[in-house]
Amino acid sequence: MMTLAEVEQLLRRSQPASGPWRGATAALLGLSMLLGALLADPALVPVAPEYRWLVPHLVLACMAAVVLIRLAGQRRLAGRLRRAFEAVQLEDWPAGEAELRRALNAPVGPPAVRTEALLALAAVAEAGRRPEVAARLYEAVLEQRCGEPLQLHAARVALATILLRQGQITDAVNMIDRLDRCDLPEALRAGVEMLVLLRELTLGHSGEALDRAPRRRALFRRHLGTRAGYGYALLAAAFDRAGREDEARRFWHDATMLLRPAALTARFEELAPLALRYPAAERPL
């Protein structure tokens, strides 16, 4: 299981070196300068004249080797990250963690790729019930602002969720308010609505949740795919608190059609009473 210290180390090690002249670029520049010097003065390197023609070729071979080694490294990293992302998608957390640890143990070049890897590692940490580790990763992504807008948005939503669950209500509410005020496309709005719903449930404002329930249900259904199950379960919790058991039962049924009760309660502990009170949908598969 990851610790905060290990995560700090991975954050440091995965950071690409700054400046234009680094690693393979510096090596290629040095070799090019040497090649240029040899072209200008073939006697620069003290070797017997009959072997002098060989020296530039060796330099060229070194340049080709640098390029090939770099390409091989990039291909290895891409393969490792692909396996990691697949494992995370399939919720094979140990495999995902192992691949991500290996990948992030060395500089990861393109910022968006590194950010994707950090977000995947944060998902692994959340699944392993290490919210403080996940929060640190999300904070790092937001502090470094090295990702694409969609990645930064995902990090904000996930961090606000963790803060809310950890009882850091003021910070969480501020973040959620900012997200709620943003003019977002519907696909992103669906995730934010689920977060706002969780806030309302946490703060005991389930009345608001009931007012917005039809719109939210439609949004979740349209944009969240299987994750809509989490949204339906939270809506069930809101109706349950309002004493409207029929609607609560119906939403809980829909939620458990998409996701098993264990998955729902593992992600949102506040759903545990519903799992005891309402029957889950039967799953013949």
Partner 1 sequence: MSRSSPQRAAIAAQLRRQLALARAARLLLLATFLAAAAWAALRDGGPGPLAIVWVLAVGLGVWVLAGLHALRIVRCVRLGTVLMGLGQLDNAEIWLRRAVGQFTFSVRGKCLAGQQLASLMFTRGSYDATIDLCRELLRRRPGGTGRQALNARLLLADALLLRDRPVEAREVLGPVDGRRLSLVERMKLLPIRLRCQLAAGDAASAARELPEQVRLAELLDSAGAALVHALLAEACRRLGRDVEAAFLRRRAALYHDLEPLLERYPVLAPPAAAGDAPGAGPPGRLPGE
Which residues form the interface with partner 1 (CB under 8 A)?
Answer: 35, 38-39, 42, 52-53, 56-57, 60, 82, 85-86, 89-90, 213-214, 217, 221-226, 228, 232, 247, 250-251, 253-254, 257-258, 282-285
CB of 35 to partner 1, least distance (A): 7
CB of 165 to partner 1, least distance (A): 24
Cα distance between residue 28 and residue 21, in whole Å: 10
Please state, as a whole number, how many other Cβ atoms lie within 10 Å of the Cβ of residue 283: 8
**Region class of 134: left (phi > 0), else alpha (psi between -120 and 50), else beta:** alpha
For residue 111 the two structure tokens come to: 């910022």
**Residue bearing tokens 């070049």:** 109
**Closest to partner 1 by CB, 2 or 251:** 251
Cα distance between residue 229 and residue 191, in whole Å: 12
CB of 105 to partner 1, least distance (A): 23
* Contact predicate 239/205, CB 8 Å: no
**Closest to partner 1 by CB, 94 or 225:** 225
Closest CA to 195 of 219, 131, 249, 85: 219
Cα distance between residue 4 and residue 2, in whole Å: 7
**Closest to partner 1 by CB, 75 or 222:** 222
**Closest to partner 1 by CB, 156 or 223:** 223
**Closest to partner 1 by CB, 18 or 226:** 226
CB of 42 to partner 1, least distance (A): 6
CB of 253 to partner 1, least distance (A): 7
Please state, as a whole number, how many other Cβ atoms lie within 10 Å of the Cβ of residue 88: 23
Closest CA to 127 of 216, 2, 285, 226: 2
Closest CA to 96 of 105, 104, 87: 87
**Closest to partner 1 by CB, 101 or 212:** 212
**Closest to partner 1 by CB, 6 or 148:** 148
CB of 250 to partner 1, least distance (A): 3
**Apex 91 CA angle, 89 and 93, nearest 5:** 115
**Closest to partner 1 by CB, 96 or 140:** 96
CB of 82 to partner 1, least distance (A): 6
CB of 143 to partner 1, least distance (A): 28
Grouping H, G, I as helix, E, B as strand and the rest as coil, residue 181 is helix
Q: Which residues of 255-264 are buried (b: 16+ CB within 10 A; e: fewer)?
A: bbebbebebb
